[in-house]
Structure 1
Amino acid sequence: MDYKSHILLYFSLFFTASFSFAQTPNWEGAKWIWQEQDGPANTWVAFRESFNLNKVPEQAIANIAVDTKYWLWVNGEMVVFEGGLARGAAPNTNYYDEVDLKPYLKNGENTVAILVWYWGRTRKVHDDSGNGGLIFHANLGENLLNSNANWKLKVHPAYDPKSGGGGKSANRVNAYNVKFDARKAMEDWSESAWYTNKFDDSTWDKPVEKGVANSKPWGTLVKRPIPLWNDRGLVNYEALTLKSNQKELKLPFKNSTDSLIIIRAKLPFNKQITPYLKVKSKAGETIVIDTDNNHNLIQSIYTTKEGVQSFEGFTWFNGHFVEYAIPAGVEVQDLKYRWTGVGEMAGTFESSDNYFTRLWWMARNTLYICARNGYMDCPDRERGLWVGDVADQTGAVFYTLDEPGRLLLKKGIDNTIAYRDGDTIQGLAPGFGAYRGKSSELTGQSLQYIDQGIWQYYYNTGDKPTLKNAYPAVLNYLKLWEMKPNGLPEHRKGYANWVDWGIDPDPVPTNVVLYFMALKAAKNMAVTLGKTNDISWYDNRINSIKQNFEKEYWQGVRYGSKNKPIEERVSALAILSGLAKKEHYDILVDSVLVPVKKSSPHMEWIAEEAIMLTGQYSKGLQRMKDRYQEQVDIEWLTTLYEKYHPKLRGTYNHAWNAPNYVLSRYIAGIKATEVAWAEYEVKPNLVHMTSVKQIVPSVRGDIFLEINRADGSYQIDLISPENTIAKVYIPKNGKEFSKVKVNGKVIWKKGKLKSNVDNVSFLKEDKDFAIFKVKEGSWTFTATHK
């Protein structure tokens, strides 16, 4: 896809996928169908419908909605692996998918087969409708293919609804284990009726018509706002070993012992996967498939039939190793896995320091594994869209993920706004389950989300409709906060007075600064949207906090409460917000931000960014190295932990780790300086590094940057996408330049502009940089020092 098509598609998605029920299509008589019972929970139901086509149509778009997940085959070929999104876009809504069937259709008889998995329980990420269901509509030219009572239905007998999994608490994972008994399986039921040995569905039941489109209990149908998963197909593991002795294993392998053997299958890194096996066995043997992840609450359990057979567990889980427990006498012929997820990890970062290259890669993996139906805190223990965790991820999204990742962030914003509790921005969306009937507001996270989530999303994408949808809720939430006589906001506790997992948190001033940052972000929103009547209200509160923060919270060497132990979070936030006086920067860095290490990863990136903002990049890198060294040194670990103190603990893939944001923004030095990356800067600060390579998947296209320095020279190679302007800073590193070349032509020599290069202009020189502005294109800047 060329650039213009990419941008048109992207902004078309903004307008059509912005939270609006008006986009629901005409379902033309399609019915919600299911069995007579509304559930039960954890039920797998198979549907089939055969039909004739005289001619394959020019277009064959199917609209499909289920509660909760589905797998789709046409003529025996898998079309969608795990369709459907957890409910919903808002209360009383259900997502639907658009799927192109044309590549799979044939002249003559065709068969659509759909396996639907109904979860039937409300937890953090899913608001159960109370009724399993499928609704399907496709206009096939001469034919309308609608779900109705003429379809065929069968509760899949091989799936056990009592499989367990997901944890016992409503605080935990929505999905269940997959427990599949191959002795009860329906052979080749997804195949087309036109095959020679066609599947006979004549004994299947007729479904019950439960309702029409946009009816309760499923509610209004809303188009899926993100693409279907990136399904990379079944592939081999990196290595197979016996867990007992770590010996390498070659397939086929038969367990010739009289006891259970565990085969450990190595993944390239921690991924969201579904496991596959092919075995030869007698009937009735049970194979349990799990991972090395101590917090994983999901597994697949397979009971064999007689002979050679294959199985893929359709409930995804994650880990570094997949473990297959193989009973005595079973021959393993093949083991594979399927990696699925949202789009691609399109961003990259490499440097001459292998530590930071590996740390950025681990942070990238952590971000990606915490993204699916929504951004989440972790993929194993909760899968909850905690808004503060998402705010932590937001900065990294724009350096790491492609368009689907940005759309997932939009989805998270829309969901959060739709599921607010009155005027309260809650911590979770949908936020039911463990918190039904009780607000899940974490005040610090709700405030953080306004600036670092909603505003930064807009600034990096230019998606004004989403900003417009969110703004009224942002204003109303900020008005819930009262001001005290001392000119600072009254502390709101929410349902939990929590700001960080780390040691000695100081919630009151933390929330004061986060409220200040939220006010400034909301004012920017008001200016952008032309809400001029709101601006004086923001200014009054912003100025009040500016005038009173220092005298209340400056404690000589730090910011924070008078009688609280020293900690770094309030001081770091004061720098980020602009409340800290610049004359305090050195003492804040040397007395607090470098030596004090009490934050959890949730606020660690804030401390690191604060140091970078003072210009003391080497100290920022040193803190980052000190904090993550233990994890980077663990050879098998490919994602980042939830907590530091008193030792590594919690999940080993928690979403609020964002060193890739700090490294990309302040070391490679790339950041947007105008909305939607219309203008951006390249201002590298390599410190001890001699090279950095970075790809930034911006909304306008990929930015490619490579920086190399050696004694006496400095080179920046930049490929800048269409309709962008880049301001390029060439560091002097304490030396004057003798000359600067652009694409081989001397443009600047001995402090003077020597010649012109089309689409390049010299801006200025200061003690640290020579600064140029370039338009789109490929540019090589080579600077030679005196």
Structure 2
Amino acid sequence: MNKLLRRHLTMWQASWIWDSGEESPRNAWRCFRKTFDYRQIDGNREAKVKLTADTRYVLYVNGTQVGRGPVRSWPFELAYDEYDIGHLLQNGAANTIAVLVVHAGIATFQSLRERGGLLLQLETGSGAVIERTDASWKTSVHLAYDASSSRISCQLPFTERYDARSWSDAWTEASFDDSAWEQATAIGSAGMAPWTSLVPRSIPYLTEEPVYPARVEELSFVRPVPWSAVFDVRTMLVPDSVNHANPITFVAMMASVLTLSEPCTFTIGSVDDGRIPFRVRIGGKWYADGDLSGEKPNAFLELQLTAGEHLLLIDLTGGSHGHGYHLGISCDAPFELRSPIADSAEPANAVPFAIIGPFDSAEHIDHQPAVSLAVEQPLYEAIKQIDTADQLSEYAEWVKPIPEQLVHFSDVYSQTAWRIVDKPQPVPAQLQHAVVAGADAGVIPVHAELDTEILIDFGRELSGYLAFTIEAAEGTIIDGYGFEYMRDGWRQYTFELDNTFRYTCREGWQSYVSVVRRGFRYLALTVRGASRPVKLYDIKLLQSSYPVANVGTFHSSNAKLNEIWRISRDTTRLCMEDTFVDCPAFEQTYWVGDARNASLINYYAFGSAEIVERCLRLVPGSAFQSPLFGDQVPSGWSSVIPNWTFFWVSACLEHYQFTGNGSFANEMWPHVRFTLEHYLQKLDNRGLLNMRGWNLLDWAPFEQPGDGVVAPQNMFLVKALRDAAQLADAAGEHAIGEAFAERAAPLRNAINDGLWDESRQAYLDCIHADGRPSSTLSMQTQVVACLCGIPTEERAQVLQRYIVEPPADFVQIGSPFMSFFYHEALVKLGMQDTLAADILQQYGVMVDQGATSVWEVYPSSNITINAKMLTRSHCHAWSAGPVYFLGSEVLGVRGLTPGWTKVAVAPKPVGLEWARGTVPLPGSGRIDVSWKVNESSKTMQLRVVAPSTLELEISAPDGYELEVEKVLLG
């Protein structure tokens, strides 16, 4: 252990605490508090609290929320936070520190599964310890939160269901009586496993800026599907899967006995199947696919059934990453569901379904040998043909109860998306008060027989914590569901994302601030079971993002280009949390490859170096999962996308080039060397990278198989080796750097020898593991070849023609992420006019659709489920490339030396009459650039404002004379 880590551990006198029960309970919401007398020393009010927790915490001092944390971390390098709280402490009086710890109890894409714990220490300004976590603290389960709530998604933990009748908000205050709470259990000292080292937070705290809605968009009286539930199928069938986030496949079913009092129309279906195709057997027949109605992934089966008992079999065979399986039933007559397990005293039989199987299951790790399920499953096939519960009893050893905690009934997602009755109403002007800060309350009307839904439009995509103040009758339910896009009455529901909450009211006036981060633009609020109208006094989102100023700017003679730049910048900030994340709604995951592009965009929009360095330093922590490094970290999903690691190598070099931080280069170089050496071990006898992995580059239908030789990643490995050589040089490892650069040359030759298709005059997309060459040719592969300097001179000319005019029979670019590399290739070829035209064409579609942030994919990609879905995520950081390219090419600002001590200003007009903007400098300061062209005289008037310490290299665009005004500051 190095000296710095040892110092961070020895300063802790606190003990880790938890309760005396289960070490890692599922979806645990646990409160801790300590009341103590506080005396200032010599009138000095300075006091600071240090804390961390597994998995997340919210800290309160004397009832005031102080902060949330910690930042996502590997458990063996767990970050702690520090807050100044002296101004909140009452001198000579009792004070209370209270902490809500939310422990996931499962592995997600943000954290590993370890155990629950809280560590906290209160110190004076001089470092003397005033209070610390130990066995004298009190603890209790937070009874308002429902621990059986459903998974949000495979990437995230659990939805929020809060019953205000069950808990006192005063628990965070000194006056609260905690005598009924249990004593906390001290479980170990700082440095205990799994939190073997503790490191201070390296980035600022995130914002919580109140943002109010734009308007109430719709008002409807509704009735939901009468029966609904969401099942955690993955944990039901493979209980140990909570310890990781890898994909699981299985062969299994579940069953229930349906009893009808009379003949009826019966509908069963799923508004979101969680990637398990909906297949049901009833009345002696299996129904699937062509028998179903609904807009994918909705799947509804409507039947005329007789009175009496019917066995429902649902085939779950397939795979799950952790998404919920949403099931709903509607019937025009009374019905009953019960478990087919007869006469059982097991409490789990309160769930009216039972598991059958699994007959086989497998965990899949993409960079390890493939695992197959058993081909023949005679028991499974036999059970698939039964029609009664009596027949099922013959297989009793395979039929098991479902634990109650793995099923949640009255599924808010299904109840919002599947309405049996929907009666739109005019929106009263008075109801708009609900979204206006400081106005009178908006009154949500109540219908005698139906629920009331109001749809709130926040006007743009947001990300953070919902807060509201209402007055309502006890037992009134407020269901919330956030989504990103709607058009002409059609809503794009967030499939595979249960972006919901439920709040059950106590009597009277009450406020609530959400603990769960969520992203959305539209919020559907549904009032259920209200005995009187609900008064909505206040609703807002506490926008939570990385604290940066909008230093970078861009404005030009093309209004659409300006809007594209703006929504790209706003997207980047929305995706800046404690790391870069892919999107604020669906995943909130730090994807390593995405973040390389986001880092470059951030440099030109905000100039922040700290968040980039934090992201880059997290990656080597995944070495225990694979020496090839993980594609998203820290995560329980042990997945490798080789390109993402190669982009990380390039991002390390680019960060050094932006900051000039030699210490960073020195510290990161051993990790870069380590992983690239392991990749080089996977070169085959042809000299090509040949490996299993998630060999992804773009969401498009070209061949990028999970095993074999995939052309783009071979090409990006060439670039990574060259970039690693430069980083080694910066770290003073010249000889090793030269050796890496030398390894790039034979790999380039192998690509030209083995992957060029002479008959089709293009690079193959791949060679499959069985030796088959790809049938597809793609723009992706040709673009990457050009960008990475792969082709010979003759072939380079062929590829340049493709890049200017993509052949119609080539697979086209499917995402703005891939466009980033296309645009880099265009810059390399000096084709900035083509770059600007492509941005206007591709991103202009988003602007025309009213986008307030940039989309994950183009409508032409292959991942949208139905024709109305223009994209999956409507806010995705990997798509914000225009900020970078308009700053670096149209304004023409690029760093030439590490730390940008020397900067080029070389604008490209790209058909514009004028442009102006600002590019942040690393550390501090900025460059302001404005230019105007006169086409008749072929002159450009250029004004540059920059610090006097900066060395500028100013050049004119081809064909123009330059008139320069240079203003130096300082």
| TM-score of Structure 1 vs Structure 2, range by shorter chain | 0.7 to 0.9
CA shift for structure 1 position 692: 2.3
Q: Which amino acid is the alignment partner of residue 615 of structure 1?
A: G
2:703–2:774 contact (8 Å) kept in structure 1: no
Which residue in 1 is equivalent to 2:53? 66
Query: Any idea what SS the aligned residue of 2:878 has?
Result: coil
Which residue in 2 is equivalent to 1:653? 875
Q: Which amino acid is the alignment partner of residue 456 of structure 1?
A: E
Q: 1:682 aligns with which of 891, 895, 905?
A: 905
CA shift for structure 1 position 637: 4.3
CA shift for structure 1 position 315: 0.3
Q: 1:359 aligns with which of 537, 559, 564?
A: 564
Counterparts of residues 204-603 of structure 1 (less than 5 Å): 204-232=181-209, 234-243=210-219, 244=424, 247=427, 249-251=431-433, 252-258=442-448, 259-293=450-484, 294-295=493-494, 296-327=497-528, 328=530, 329-344=533-548, 346=550, 347-403=552-608, 406-421=609-624, 424-430=627-633, 432-435=635-638, 440-451=639-650, 453-482=651-680, 489-505=687-703, 508-546=710-748, 549-550=751-752, 559-561=762-764, 564-580=775-791, 587-596=798-807, 597-603=812-818
Q: Which amino acid is the alignment partner of residue 98 of structure 2?
A: A
For 1:245 and 1:216, locate their aligned partners in 2 and report how far apart those are by CA, in whole Å: 58
- The answer to whether the aligner puts 1:188 opposite 2:175 as a matched pair is no
2:5–2:197 contact (8 Å) kept in structure 1: yes
Q: Which amino acid is the alignment partner of residue 96 of structure 1?
A: Y
1:93–1:219 contact (8 Å) kept in structure 2: yes
Q: Which amino acid is the alignment partner of residue 516 of structure 1?
A: V
2:518–2:584 contact (8 Å) kept in structure 1: yes
For 2:965 and 2:607, locate their aligned partners in 1 and report how far apart those are by CA, in whole Å: 33
CA shift for structure 1 position 534: 1.1
CA shift for structure 1 position 388: 1.7
For 1:318 and 1:301, locate their aligned partners in 2 and report how far apart those are by CA, in whole Å: 16
Q: TM-score, normalised by structure 1?
A: 0.83
For 2:717 and 2:896, locate their aligned partners in 1 and report how far apart those are by CA, in whole Å: 24
Residues 1:697 and 1:161: Cα distance change in structure 2 (over 3 Å): farther
2:110–2:634 contact (8 Å) kept in structure 1: yes
Q: 1:87 aligns with which of 55, 61, 73?
A: 73
1:489–1:512 contact (8 Å) kept in structure 2: no
1:264–1:324 contact (8 Å) kept in structure 2: yes
Which residue in 1 is equivalent to 2:391? none
Residues 1:316 and 1:741: Cα distance change in structure 2 (over 3 Å): closer
Q: 1:662 aligns with which of 881, 885, 894?
A: 885
CA shift for structure 1 position 385: 2.6
- The answer to whether the aligner puts 1:106 opposite 2:90 as a matched pair is yes
CA shift for structure 1 position 67: 0.9
Counterparts of residues 745-760 of structure 1 (less than 5 Å): none
For 2:606 and 2:964, locate their aligned partners in 1 and report how far apart those are by CA, in whole Å: 34
For 1:742 and 1:229, locate their aligned partners in 2 and report how far apart those are by CA, in whole Å: 37
CA shift for structure 1 position 306: 0.6
Q: Which amino acid is the alignment partner of residue 307 of structure 1?
A: G
For 2:118 and 2:725, locate their aligned partners in 1 and report how far apart those are by CA, in whole Å: 44
Which residue in 1 is equivalent to 2:20? 36
Query: Any idea what SS the aligned residue of 1:570 has?
Result: helix
Residues 1:428 and 1:373: Cα distance change in structure 2 (over 3 Å): farther
Residues 1:691 and 1:185: Cα distance change in structure 2 (over 3 Å): farther
For 1:653 and 1:569, locate their aligned partners in 2 and report how far apart those are by CA, in whole Å: 23
For 2:779 and 2:701, locate their aligned partners in 1 and report how far apart those are by CA, in whole Å: 10
- The answer to whether the aligner puts 1:125 opposite 2:110 as a matched pair is yes
CA shift for structure 1 position 515: 1.0
Residues 1:278 and 1:135: Cα distance change in structure 2 (over 3 Å): same
Query: Any idea what SS the aligned residue of 2:861 has?
Result: coil
Residues 1:533 and 1:736: Cα distance change in structure 2 (over 3 Å): closer
Which residue in 1 is equivalent to 2:158? 176
175-184 or 634-643, which deviates more: 634-643
Q: 1:715 aligns with which of 941, 956, 960?
A: 941
CA shift for structure 1 position 461: 1.8
Query: Any idea what SS the aligned residue of 1:480 has?
Result: helix
Residue ranges of structure 2 left out of the alignment (5+ in a row)? 220-423, 434-441, 485-492, 765-772, 865-869
CA shift for structure 1 position 552: 5.1
Residues 1:539 and 1:332: Cα distance change in structure 2 (over 3 Å): closer
Which residue in 2 is equivalent to 1:157? 143
1:691–1:706 contact (8 Å) kept in structure 2: no
For 1:659 and 1:221, locate their aligned partners in 2 and report how far apart those are by CA, in whole Å: 38
Residues 1:47 and 1:179: Cα distance change in structure 2 (over 3 Å): same
2:544–2:577 contact (8 Å) kept in structure 1: no
Q: What's the CA shift string for 1:270-321, capped at 9, x where partnerless? A: 1212112211111111101221243343322100011111112110111112
For 2:941 and 2:88, locate their aligned partners in 1 and report how far apart those are by CA, in whole Å: 51
Residues 1:364 and 1:180: Cα distance change in structure 2 (over 3 Å): same
For 1:153 and 1:304, locate their aligned partners in 2 and report how far apart those are by CA, in whole Å: 24
Residues 1:484 and 1:298: Cα distance change in structure 2 (over 3 Å): closer
Q: What's the CA shift string for 1:716-753, capped at 9, x where partnerless? A: 3333246432222244x63446x65546xxxxxxxxxx
In the alignment of these two chains, the number of paired residues is 707
Which residue in 2 is equivalent to 1:784? none
Q: What's the CA shift string for 1:69-115, capped at 9, x where partnerless? A: 222222333221x2212332xx5332211111233233222332222
1:341–1:371 contact (8 Å) kept in structure 2: yes
Which residue in 1 is equivalent to 2:356? none
Residues 1:531 and 1:719: Cα distance change in structure 2 (over 3 Å): same
1:67–1:118 contact (8 Å) kept in structure 2: yes
2:444–2:534 contact (8 Å) kept in structure 1: yes
1:68–1:85 contact (8 Å) kept in structure 2: no
Which residue in 1 is equivalent to 2:950? 724
Q: What's the CA shift string for 1:590-639, capped at 9, x where partnerless? A: 43344353343331111122112212222112222232232221114423
Query: Any idea what SS the aligned residue of 1:264 has?
Result: strand
2:206–2:578 contact (8 Å) kept in structure 1: no
Query: Any idea what SS the aligned residue of 1:468 has?
Result: helix
CA shift for structure 1 position 665: 1.5
Query: Any idea what SS the aligned residue of 2:432 has?
Result: coil
For 1:314 and 1:722, locate their aligned partners in 2 and report how far apart those are by CA, in whole Å: 47
CA shift for structure 1 position 339: 0.5
Q: Which has the larger radius of gyration?
A: 2
